[in-house]
Structure 1
Amino acid sequence: MAQPGHRSLRRALLLLVSTALSAALASALCVAPSQAADRIPREFFGMDVAITSQGETSWPALDVGAVRVALSWRSVEQSIGAYTWNDLDAKVATAESHDAQPLLVLEGTPGFHATGKAPHYGSAPRLKAYRSFVRALVARYGDRADYQVWNEGNVPIFFDGTPANLAAMSRVLGRATRDLAPSAQVLAPSFVIRGSGTLREVYRAYWSQKIGRFSVGRFVDAAAISAYPMEPEDPEDALVLTQWAQRVLDKKGFQGPLWASEINYGASGLQPTIAPIPMRRQVAYVVRTYALHASAGADRVYWWRWLPHITVNTTLNNGKGGLTRAGKAYRSVEDWLVGTRPTGCKVAKGVRTCGFRLDKQTTRYVSWTRSGQTRVVVAPAGSRTKTKPSGATSRVRRGDRVRVGLTPVMIETRSRRDSRSR
């Protein structure tokens, strides 16, 4: 469970960047010192991967550190008290075989455990039944997995209950992991927070819940949002949502991290996207999503999803199991960021640049223009190489003029070992 002070430095960084971003379109973001940030782990790069009941999947040709696994409760418990784990066993084993940490995302209340007059997939469950199921679940998989209380708790097709229901469920799952898998992480329900103020009110209401004398945050390790922006919006807009969610957590005193448990662009609910974009922009969106969220201190970002889907506009999979250019961009930005410490972002003359320090000598700078207009940046001292999201790398030296536009470019610098500030 989250304890006071848990990752407080990263949360302080997120708050600092959040406060500055609203002015960044015209000026510069505050640049936080690199020592205030943790190194970016593999698990930061998450993905939703559809694994079949036999454990079969077209696994991405990517180093996915964490995988989101949808867990339909009604598929496991098809008669009262009888659990069939074969399908989920295969899914967890498949994730483990690829060295990806599975996050089991609960949804789908069995009709015989549903509350309300018209039971459906998103019915709030009876708490006693939920307790029995999650204790059996955690007893089976232990710390091999992380667990999410529920999927999208403010979207009626997934959940029609109240914030109080979700808080009670959070305590049940939190206690189950405390007793049976103390090192597993418990993720709070995810919430959609774009658009409607009603959606945001449910998020606020959940984080305002108290159970007895304890706040709901005592029973979970991390908060979660579905970070989809509105249909025509971009990664900078998605980050604004994440920062808004973080401010709510700060006001409520929650000390754990915030995860983007789903993100993509052009999402139109369950309808085909009305905002298709060219592949060049898809490439840019993937890199910008991870560079911005890493700089802001987010702990995990799960791309939705590996398989193509008509409801979103940015696709990593070419439909045959291979990588699109956007998929290759995911691989590149992961290579650029894992193991580094974010140093913050700034905006100057329309160019946004985020820095990532690998070690005492090596820093990587990722630059782009949100407008898509081409600008020229001057390579800084110690510049060695510039790399595109395609993986193409070329030499660059201090003072070289580097063209930057919609597609981000990474410049790697290396200082001399014997250089000292005097």
Structure 2
Amino acid sequence: MNLATARPAKRWWRRAALLLVALAALLGGVSACAKGERPAMELVPPRAVEWRDFLGVNAHFLWFEPARYRQQMDQLQALGLQWVRVDLHWDTIEPREGVFRWDVLDPLMAEIQRRGLKAEVYLVGSAPHATSAPAGSPHPDQYPPKDPALYAKALVLLAQRYPQVDAWQVWNEPNLPAFWRPREDPAAYGRLLLTSVNAMRTGAPGRQVVLGGMGYFSQMPTRGGGLMVEELAKGGLYSLDVITAYHPYSLYPEGDDPKAMDFILRAQQGNAALRAAGAHAIWADEWGWSSYDGPKEEQPIIGVQGQADYVTRRLALMSALDYDKVFLFALSDLDSRAGARDRRYGLLDERAQPKPVYAAVQRMLRLTGPRITPGTAPTLATVPPGLVSIAWQREDGRRLWFFWADAPGQLQLRGVEHAQLHDVLGGGVRALQADAGSLAVPVGTTLSILEW
């Protein structure tokens, strides 16, 4: 596979080598602090965050009737957000070659345009006429197309018909066998990507193209856990000027091992490696937790309050890491066509009514205002175990400090005479006053925001 068509090969091999060295840390042991007590960590945001441009949601609009997805859009816009990631399943929108379901697509795209929403749209699942599945396969859509040109043709046709779409994504999670049967194949996906990019450059110039959102950190489970993005980079991925996207799901907000905080470390190391290799934009375009009540399927059962807790802590972390855009999974719960876990990822329930996670995210965004800039953390006289700390400043000059810890406790701040303590989950606000130059601040295991 050779994707390098636009820049000298030597330069891209050198950058790919950097990627190979640095990304090895993603899958190795993260550090000795994985054992025992979690260390305190202060994250320094790399840039300002404007929520409308930074935070989006995955929206399964085509699961619903137009009246319902319009309600979902109302709720999204009530949060002050504008970005949606929309799934188009090729096998359902082109059930016969050349016959597209414009009757369902046109009203949706018109509504997105009418509201001024911004969209990343991904096309996934081979159409019946294009699948490489063997005859009689029960899942023909989960096989890649037999000819990449068939996929590219459909993608370009969609991009031409819907110029209001901001970004088009080539497939979804091609590093996982569930989306690329019989097994993940970086060379085959590379051919699909290159064919699609070249077709888009010719047939729909100026449109952003996004790398198929890699599951997790792009590990390939049947190929020893190697990273698909490494293989693509060796072939010249970053000569194509595409947006890099992956899906950093984990068991807990700080990672699969919260003591090690492996999500934070992998995001820091991995994104630095991607930038060094030539990635100009990095999107985490799926992440989140389900509020399902079982039976247990990979993710711990955390309920609706746990979902609100995990999502707000992860959003706080991601805002302070080197992501250009992040898309929460998902805007709405789904109906019984989805599995038990997959049904309950939404900010909203099936009737488009807010769940506790929606209320918590809304509180967080209202408190910060539309834009925040990196701030200076307060001076700590005492540091509880496992403290996570992120400092911001609001546009009106008010200082904000995001924090939580391993266990409930109390910390002492110097240099802050009075402040307001906001409980993001519960919505409570508590006035705090310093005593003898020290401000006592309760700390819990969920996100709190101190304002002064």
User: Could you say whether these structures have the same fold, taking a TM-score greater than 0.5 normalized by the shorter chain as the test?
Assistant: yes
Q: Which residue of 2 aligns with 1:152?
A: 173
Match of 2:341 among 284, 298, 311: 311
Q: Which residue of 2 aligns with 1:201?
A: 226
Q: Which residue of 2 aligns with 1:341?
A: 373
CA apart distance, 1:152: 0.8
CA apart distance, 1:286: 1.6
Alpha-carbon contact 1:358-1:364 (below 8 Å) kept: yes
Match of 2:359 among 324, 328, 331: 328
- For 1:255, give the aligned amino acid: A
Separation in 2 of the partners of 1:98 and 1:199? 45
- For 2:209, give the aligned amino acid: V
Match of 2:411 among 373, 376, 380: 376
Alpha-carbon contact 1:295-1:343 (below 8 Å) kept: no
Separation in 2 of the partners of 1:271 and 1:88? 35
SS at match of 2:163: helix
Does 2:166 align with 1:142? no
Q: RMSD in angstroms over aligned alpha carbons?
A: 3.7
Does 2:91 align with 1:68? no
Match of 1:187 among 187, 210, 226: 210
Separation in 1 of the partners of 2:179 and 2:152? 19
CA apart distance, 1:187: 1.3
Q: Which residue of 2 aligns with 1:404?
A: 443
CA apart distance, 1:340: 1.1
Alpha-carbon contact 1:71-1:104 (below 8 Å) kept: yes
Q: Which residue of 2 aligns with 1:393?
A: 429
CA apart distance, 1:127: 1.3
Identity rate of aligned residues, in percent?
19
Structure-to-structure mapping, 1:21-420, within 5 angstroms: 26-29=38-41, 32=44, 36-52=46-62, 54-56=65-67, 57=69, 58-59=71-72, 60=75, 61-118=78-135, 120-125=140-145, 126-160=147-181, 162-179=185-202, 181-193=204-216, 198=223, 200-210=225-235, 215-230=236-251, 233=256, 236-243=261-268, 245-250=270-275, 253-265=277-289, 273=297, 275-308=300-333, 310-311=340-341, 316-335=347-366, 336=368, 338-343=370-375, 348-350=383-385, 351-359=387-395, 361-369=397-405, 371-378=406-413, 381=416, 384-389=419-424, 390-397=426-433, 399-413=438-452
Alpha-carbon contact 2:156-2:204 (below 8 Å) kept: no
Q: 1:129 to 1:323 in 2, by over 3 A?
A: same
Alpha-carbon contact 2:392-2:400 (below 8 Å) kept: yes
Deviations 1:336-368 (A, max 9, x none): 274112458899422211112234833211111
- For 2:357, give the aligned amino acid: A
Separation in 1 of the partners of 2:354 and 2:315? 18
Alpha-carbon contact 2:54-2:326 (below 8 Å) kept: yes
- For 1:364, give the aligned amino acid: L
- For 1:141, give the aligned amino acid: Y
Q: 1:237 to 1:314 in 2, by over 3 A?
A: farther
SS at match of 1:228: coil
Alpha-carbon contact 2:423-2:447 (below 8 Å) kept: yes
Q: 1:105 to 1:267 in 2, by over 3 A?
A: farther
Alpha-carbon contact 1:282-1:315 (below 8 Å) kept: no
SS at match of 2:132: coil
CA apart distance, 1:392: 3.6
Q: 1:400 to 1:344 in 2, by over 3 A?
A: closer
Deviations 1:281-326 (A, max 9, x none): 3322121111101101212222112223631676533454222222
- For 2:310, give the aligned amino acid: Y
SS at match of 1:224: strand
Structure 1: give runs of 5+ residues left out of the alignment: 5-14, 414-422
- For 1:113, give the aligned amino acid: A
Separation in 1 of the partners of 2:324 and 2:257? 20
Alpha-carbon contact 1:189-1:224 (below 8 Å) kept: yes
Q: 1:136 to 1:199 in 2, by over 3 A?
A: farther
Separation in 1 of the partners of 2:432 and 2:98? 64
Deviations 1:216-267 (A, max 9, x none): 123243211122114894885544453454255246x123222111112369
Alpha-carbon contact 1:295-1:345 (below 8 Å) kept: no
Q: 1:265 to 1:84 in 2, by over 3 A?
A: closer
Q: 1:49 to 1:181 in 2, by over 3 A?
A: same
Deviations 1:85-139 (A, max 9, x none): 2322222233344443111111111121122534611211111211211111111
Separation in 2 of the partners of 1:248 and 1:122? 31
SS at match of 1:242: helix
SS at match of 1:79: coil
Alpha-carbon contact 1:45-1:334 (below 8 Å) kept: no
Q: 1:163 to 1:293 in 2, by over 3 A?
A: same
Q: 1:181 to 1:112 in 2, by over 3 A?
A: closer
Separation in 2 of the partners of 1:344 and 1:113? 55
- For 2:365, give the aligned amino acid: E
CA apart distance, 1:409: 1.2
Number of residue equivalences: 390
Structure 2: give runs of 5+ residues left out of the alignment: 1-5, 12-21, 335-339
Alpha-carbon contact 1:357-1:363 (below 8 Å) kept: yes
- For 1:50, give the aligned amino acid: H
CA apart distance, 1:183: 4.7
- For 1:124, give the aligned amino acid: P
